[in-house]
Structure 1
Amino acid sequence: MRRTLLALALATIPGLGAAAGLASSIGAVTVYQDRAVVTRAASSELPAGEHELVLEKLPASLQENSLQVSAKSTGQATLLDVKVRDAYQADTPNERVKQLEEQLRGLEGRQALLDDEATVLDNQRELVLMMQRGATEPAKDGARLTLDELKAIQSLSADTLSKTLAGLRRVAEQKAALDRDIAALQNELGQLQNALGRRTKTVTLRVNLARAGKLDLNLSYAVAGARWTPAYDARLRLADRSVELGYFGVIRQNTGEDWNNVKLTLSTARPALGGGAPTLRPWIIDVAAPPPPPRPAAAPVAKMQAEVAAERRARSSPAFAGGALDAAQPEPEAIAVSTAQVQNEATSASFQIKNPATLLSDNASQRVAITTAKLPATLQYQATPALREAVYLTAQASNNTDFPLLAGPLNTFLDDAFVASSNLKAVMPGEKVELAMGADEGISIKRQLVNRYTESTGFSGSGKRVTYEYKITVKNNKATKEQVSFKDRLPVSRNEKIVVKLLSPADREIKREDDGKLAWDWEMEPGKSRETVLKFSVEYPGDIEVSGL
């Protein structure tokens, strides 16, 4: 009774408004590669005076240090303070969890019906068996059944028993399927409940209005459990020698709240890296100090006395009084929070998705389109016949868009036929990009060992020379002129006594690269073949054994 009177008295004090739950909705979300920044909006008509506005059931992953509040009001409002606290819900606010719980209850209800049906069928089977036993074992004073009556009972019981057993099998199959569905739902529900928990956040805003008016609030905060990764589709159009590039963002989120019909932005900023480059610390080296001599083991009584004395000194010291020991421990650092308001276009890019998006908090992947571009391409065929006698098509293009292409998975298509899956390296605007389009049977390449022989060298024949000769043949089976580039290699000597010499082709016909690699760049006419001979020798003294030949 006293509490009720006190509450009524407080409510009648002028200028003090009771805490009011404020409905809010998510209007915009900016997703980073390791988090998201959510912006909520709320409005309320308030009288003059001080008010507490409560926003409930916010996600438990809300990072309190990232919370930002802005307000507009026609009543000359002042934001006094913002308080964030944990709250525990008896029910789960996540819609996906509610759907799974309802589905699970429905399956469990069907399971109970099947159990009842199985019980009825089992009783029916027992009744048939009792009828059969009664027909073959009549009572002592009863007359025996005739043969026709026995046949009729046998036919009836067999038909009934067959239908009963078929029903039991059907029920068992349906129960097994239901058990699998229930186990899958329970697994998904358990994962979501473990990720979400029953804990939520409640934000309480204390505002003061000089006069009655409308208050418009914007609340933004960072949450964990959200990320996006890039993905690409590249279609090579041979007719006009161009690449149609599709740039997508694959988003996953299990933040604990659904994003319904929100304005979505994908950011390339990485807040986890911090705002500046890390500071180098001195690298100190010194003469290692000798290990201290082992201390003699103290007697049990002496050791106990030493521990008691040490404890007394600690209690009498100023550091023990007033909690100074706790103060000496390092304080936790505030987490670095980056929001859309502080993004710098010089260091990151933001992709604003044109259409509103809906993403449920179920960790399912959802792909949204960022942009599409048509890039003029230069086609080149590449091969390494020493490893595989196949020619691979590559399309070399330039990123002529304003979008930085982040590293991510790439699906390549030749016109409308899927070719291969690979990965695209990061490509900034204006940089070159090379797309692997897979093997092309329209151009063939063959590498054949023509000759390999060993001979003696020197006046006394104490040296050895091993000569290799390969023939490489390329044929363009296409109706168009194409550029073909292929590579081979020479042995690389790690000893001055082992000498490798290139005998064919001449240096003007090839391009030498590091580690003995040789490159040929040919322009192949349609329907034509071309061949070259790779010949080299390896010379070394006869008294040493050479590995690798």
Structure 2
Amino acid sequence: MRRSLLVLAIAAIPGLAAAAGLPSSIGAVTVYQDRAVVTRSATSELAAGEHELVLENLPASLQENSLQVSAKSTGQASLLDVKVRDAYQAESANARVRQLEDQLRKLESQQAELDDQAAVLDNQRELVLMMQRGATEPAKDGTRLTLEELKAIQTLSADTLGKTLAALRKVAEQKEALEREQAVLQNQLGTVRNQLNRRTKTVTLRVNLARAGKVDLAVSYAVGGARWTPAYDARLRPADRNVDLGYFGVIRQNTGEDWTNVKLTLSTARPALGGGAPALRPWVIDVAAPPPPPVAMAAPAPAITGEVSAKRSRPAPLARVTADEMVAQPEPEAIEVATAQVQNEATSASFQIKNPATLLSDNTAQRVAIATAKLPATLQYQSTPALREAAFLTALASNNTEFPFLAGPLNTFLDDAFVASSAMKSVMPGEKIELALGADEGISIKRQLVNRFTESTGFSGSGKRVTYEYKITVKNNKATKEQVTFKDRLPVSRNEKIVVKLLSPADRDIKREEDGKLVWDWEMEPGKSRETVLKFSVDYPGDIDVSGL
């Protein structure tokens, strides 16, 4: 049996399809950071001769120049051409519009009946009030009702008025319920009417078979409205000085078609950047033209406001346990996360998710696991007490996996306790990772201004000197030896007449960085405290004013 493989990458060709739609299903999706490539498959048994195979209701965002078709056949088939055209969903939507409009008319009729009931009840209420007012007024001949007659009228009117008011409340509740139903139907009607003009794509393939046989099609195309972003969970295990890093892909898609049980791949490639480096244009300089005369400004246009609605992601269903399963259950174990298989290519990497995935076209965020890694870490506490008197735990590790870690948000945990949210930079395999794990009260650090004074300098007292003195105290309240690194700074002079001198500590006790930054690196014994003094002076002529002091 001869099998032929035909692969054709084509652009859109205008035309019409007359054949019936061929059922197809999405089998695989590759998601990029700004689009997705969808692969559909379809099968048909065909007689010998020429046939048109039609794939309908494809998303309007289908990029026609990305369309590729692969075909296999047992009937010695030839793929003649492929056509792409726009289609609309008017016919299927019209019946639903008529149904919703009929329901709204019924509700409007019920609303009118309730309005009539309310008018009758209002009339009854006014009549009772008129009877009460008339009972207290004397007749034309001056006679008045007796006390017993007044009590009888009061009892009758109170009973009637109470029933009338109760009926009015009931009518108001019914009208409110009808208004809610009308609002729901109006929203549904607006959605369906929008679908009257909803555009889709139809792909028509013309094939010719030398003899009867089966044709297997695979059609792939790129669509907009899909993206994925990286996210991370870092869980520090202080007992063994390891970081359990979870690498996830957060996917959103509103391409116009649901992806059900598809083979999912996440790619780090960025097609939007193009295939090569951009070309430089000449940098032209010339004499500046005189500015144009001022023009009166027109009044600003009114702002346009809009409403944006967000769908809440649906929670995953909880697993149910039967009574039989509750008997003699083994000790619970940690759930193994199904991770992805990485495939490194020349310019990108692809993460093939092991389990089939389902993603609805509603822009809901869905997280899939890419990788998990146990990273041996060196723990270090970092602080900038001049800005915040707190020590932040940092884990220094290296990417010992074959996965490139892209930049993304990072949630950090200390064992099972959530401690902070931060961000992780892009880290390639083998590169160093610095994970910020949040503030830790186990290390206390204080910075105190001890002294600040100004004095005159020089033989005639023509110069000035300002001296600052700070005391920095660090205490390790933990039961383990810890590494603590903290930074402070000296003023940076931008004028040769202004001279900054470090008086304490000595240079051997610190490390100097650019822009006047000073770094202390201490190894702190458990339960111990340590102090240092930062002292510096600023000298400048007395006839100038210095900013920043």
Superposed pair shares fold, TM > 0.5: yes
Root-mean-square deviation (CA), in Å? 3.4
Shift in alpha-carbon separation, 1:227–1:451, aligned structure 2, 3 A = same
Give the Cα separation in 2 of the matches to 1:172 and 1:61: 43
**Retained in 1: the 8 A contact 2:90–2:197?**
no
Query: Which of 158, 164, 167 does residue 164 from structure 1 map onto?
Result: 167
Unaligned runs of 5+ in 1: 1-16, 292-342
Instruction: Specify the alignment match of 1:319 in structure 2.
Output: none
Identify, as 1 or 2, the structure richer in helix.
Answer: 1
Give the Cα separation in 1 of the matches to 2:482 and 2:546: 41
Query: Which of 153, 158, 161 does residue 155 from structure 1 map onto?
Result: 158
Unaligned runs of 5+ in 2: 1-16, 291-342
Instruction: Specify the alignment match of 1:128 in structure 2.
Output: 124
Shift in alpha-carbon separation, 1:280–1:131, aligned structure 2, 3 A = closer
**Retained in 2: the 8 A contact 1:248–1:369?**
yes
Q: How far is the alpha carbon of 1:523 from its aligned partner?
A: 0.8
Instruction: Specify the alignment match of 1:296 in structure 2.
Output: none
Shift in alpha-carbon separation, 1:167–1:80, aligned structure 2, 3 A = same
Q: How far is the alpha carbon of 1:89 from its aligned partner?
A: 2.0
* Residues 160-239 of structure 1 aligned to structure 2 (within 5 Å): 160-171=163-174, 174=177, 189=191, 193=194, 197-239=197-239
Task: Give SS of 2:90's match.
Answer: coil
**Retained in 2: the 8 A contact 1:117–1:171?**
no
Instruction: Specify the alignment match of 2:411 in structure 1.
Output: 411
Give the Cα separation in 2 of the matches to 1:500 and 1:118: 86
Identity %: 73
**Retained in 1: the 8 A contact 2:128–2:161?**
no
Query: Which of 111, 115, 127 does residue 119 from structure 1 map onto?
Result: 115
Task: Give SS of 2:255's match.
Answer: coil
Aligned-partner residue type, residue 268 of structure 2: T
* Residues 403-482 of structure 1 aligned to structure 2 (within 5 Å): 403-482=403-482
Q: How far is the alpha carbon of 1:265 from its aligned partner?
A: 1.0
Shift in alpha-carbon separation, 1:27–1:105, aligned structure 2, 3 A = farther
Shift in alpha-carbon separation, 1:43–1:229, aligned structure 2, 3 A = same
Instruction: Specify the alignment match of 1:392 in structure 2.
Output: 392
Instruction: Specify the alignment match of 1:274 in structure 2.
Output: 274
Give the Cα separation in 2 of the matches to 1:250 and 1:367: 4
**Retained in 1: the 8 A contact 2:492–2:516?**
yes
Shift in alpha-carbon separation, 1:501–1:133, aligned structure 2, 3 A = closer
Shift in alpha-carbon separation, 1:133–1:510, aligned structure 2, 3 A = closer
Aligned-partner residue type, residue 370 of structure 1: I
Give the Cα separation in 2 of the matches to 1:386 and 1:27: 57
**Retained in 1: the 8 A contact 2:245–2:374?**
yes
Deviations 1:78-114 (A, max 9, x none): 0011111112221579xxxx9xx99988996996597
Give the Cα separation in 2 of the matches to 1:59 and 1:288: 53
Greater Cα offset, 123-132 or 414-423 = 123-132
Shift in alpha-carbon separation, 1:202–1:146, aligned structure 2, 3 A = same
* Residues 476-515 of structure 1 aligned to structure 2 (within 5 Å): 476-515=476-515
Aligned-partner residue type, residue 163 of structure 1: A
**Retained in 2: the 8 A contact 1:132–1:153?**
no
Q: How far is the alpha carbon of 1:151 from its aligned partner?
A: 3.5
Instruction: Specify the alignment match of 1:40 in structure 2.
Output: 40
Task: Give SS of 1:132's match.
Answer: helix
**Retained in 1: the 8 A contact 2:49–2:211?**
yes
**Retained in 2: the 8 A contact 1:124–1:164?**
no
**Retained in 2: the 8 A contact 1:18–1:51?**
no
